[in-house]
Amino acid sequence: MTPLVEILSPGLYIVATPIGNLGDLSPRAADVLSRAAVIAAEDTRVTAKLLRHIGTKRPMTPYHDHNADHVRPQLIARMATEAVALVSDAGTPLISDPGYKLVRDAHAAGHLVVTIPGPCAAIAALTLAGLPTDRFLFAGFLPSKVKARGEAIAELGAIRATLVLYESGPRLGATLAALADALGEREAAVTREISKRFEEAVTGTLPTLAARYADAPPKGEIVIVVAPPGDAPPASEEDGDTALAEALTRLPAAKAAGEVAKRLGLDRKALYARALALKDA
């Protein structure tokens, strides 16, 4: 006789799954997946392998970008009386995967929402890269079109934080080349196959990594980690004169000196004297 399975409280359970090694699935995640009334999965074939690994079978329904608008109301309705588990193919749901609208609507309907934390490729890559982790920005996948990708990199480049990006093998060389062109000699790391047999983290400058992968696209899921920008060099007297000349077209000498001193970190009294000299010139 099959033993009864304790029923989970109704609601939404966000379950992180392994990004490679199936042994990384937490006991709590395995327990929730074994007891959920239904599992909303990005690809039910991938999730079926995970369920076989933990020795269970559960009803599943596909939930992905192409069917989310149709399936989401059905899942929300089921949460009133059943436990619905949400999983992605690998890692933490909602991180570059569909799901936030499901969570939003579950909250709006007053349902219980629980997260079962676990693997995340972005966080794992940060631990492997050897780059600053006190402040970082996860930017997902860059646009595939050259112009849009360049604009995105230009925007990200000014952010004083380590950058974390996802990428595919065939696109890696072009993405690294674009990053190198825009960001220069920043330190970076290319991590792939995290927690799998051929896990690796290759470090170097962006130009070095771009050259390495230009004609050798690697296999596997890839995370690029890029160091934050270094400290800007101190402003020179020439920088101060240029900024003052522009400011004096809008402001009196005292205010122009104050504005430039604050922006460039130069001595205000010296700038004021220089501003008077420039006005008299």
**pLDDT tens across 78-103, in order?**
999 999 999 999 999 999 888 999 99
CB 192 within 8 A of CB 221: yes
Q: How far apart are CA 131 and CA 174, in angstroms?
A: 22
- Predicted confidence at residue 2, as pLDDT, reads 44
Plot region of 142 (φ>0 → left; ψ -120 to 50 → alpha; else → beta) = beta
Tell me phi and psi for residue 206, to 5 degrees: -60, -45
Strands (DSSP E) along the chain, which ranges?
Answer: 11-15, 38-41, 60-62, 83-87, 113-116, 136-141, 162-167, 187-192, 200-205, 222-226
**pLDDT tens across 122-150, in order?**
999 999 999 999 999 999 999 999 999 99
Name the stretches of the chain with pLDDT < 50.
1-4
- Predicted confidence at residue 51, as pLDDT, reads 98
Q: Which of 29, 209, 1 is nearest to 115 (CA)?
A: 29
The pTM assigned to this predicted structure is: 0.79
